[in-house]
Amino acid sequence: MKKTIILTLILHFVIFLSINAQENIIQISGKISDKDTKEVLIGVSVLVQGTVSGTTTNNKGEFLFRTKIKFPFVLQFSSVGYKTTVVEVNSLSNKLNIELVTQSILGQEIVVTASRVEENILKSPVAIDKLDIRAIKQSAGGSFYDALENVKGVQMITSSLTFKVPNTRGFNIPNNFRFMQLVDGVDMQAATLGVPLGNAIGPTELDIESVEITPGAASALYGMNAINGLSNLQTKSPFRYQGLSLYQRTGVNHVDGKDL
């Protein structure tokens, strides 16, 4: 009899704790679209200001996440090519419908390569060019690395199928020792050869957020290997780009069948 009473009390206590825990959890959901075209926006970052709680929109422009933050709080919505929108939430009676406004980001982009700290591209102490995620997606090349050929002042040598060597300021050779390549500030040169093998050991297009090119001497910050310049590949943050992503490329050969 005593065991039954104890088990009943424990069960009621567990149920009480679970109910209280559920009461403290807030479910935030909504839909984000373009203010002008009314089209849904995919991959928009949704973040609770001052925390790491947030998510991104799915292929229907919808988002959903849970948090224990108390009212009121501020939600921040940001996406490449759109003005960052901040909304204060005091209650959640229904889903949020957010409309983002497009904006020109020329001169407002943030770079980190020039001084190793975040700064406005117009305030950087050296000349720097940047390929953002939108420019990379619109590139007509076989990979995002081919898009570097279209950057002002960049020369690309193709030594083999996957071995492309970028260079700035002349003096280009197939194994360019004078041009440095970084991934999030980390040198990506081959350990045995001491030269960067194109993007053979770098991240794929799926993980790239932007590419920053310094077409001049950067040896003061990055050493003598950067005497001709450097490229810094910035990857996506897992806190801003959540969820599952797939990357696949296919090719077709012998379409006419003459060479079979």
Dist CA 45 CA 247 (whole Å): 20
Structural domains in the chain plus CATH codes: 2-100 (2.60.40.1120), 110-235 (2.170.130.10)
Prior bond of 72 cis (ω within 30°): yes
pLDDT values of the chain reduced to their tens digit, one per residue, 260 residues: 555 655 555 555 445 444 444 456 788 889 999 988 889 998 898 988 888 788 889 888 999 888 888 888 899 998 877 888 999 888 776 788 999 988 765 556 788 888 888 888 878 888 888 888 778 877 777 778 888 888 888 888 887 776 788 888 877 777 777 888 889 888 887 777 767 777 777 888 888 888 999 887 787 888 888 888 888 999 988 877 777 777 777 777 766 666 55
Contacts of 9 (CB under 8 A, 6+ apart): none
Taking the C-alpha atoms of residue 213 and residue 152, their distance in angstroms, rounded to an integer, is: 9
Tokens of 60: 């229907």
* Count of all residues that appear for the chain in the document: 260
Q: Where are the beta strands (DSSP E) in 9-118?
A: 26-34, 45-48, 54-56, 62-67, 73-78, 85-89, 96-100, 110-111
Q: Which long-range contacts (CB under 8 A, 24 or more apart) does 138-143 make?
A: 143/199, 143/205
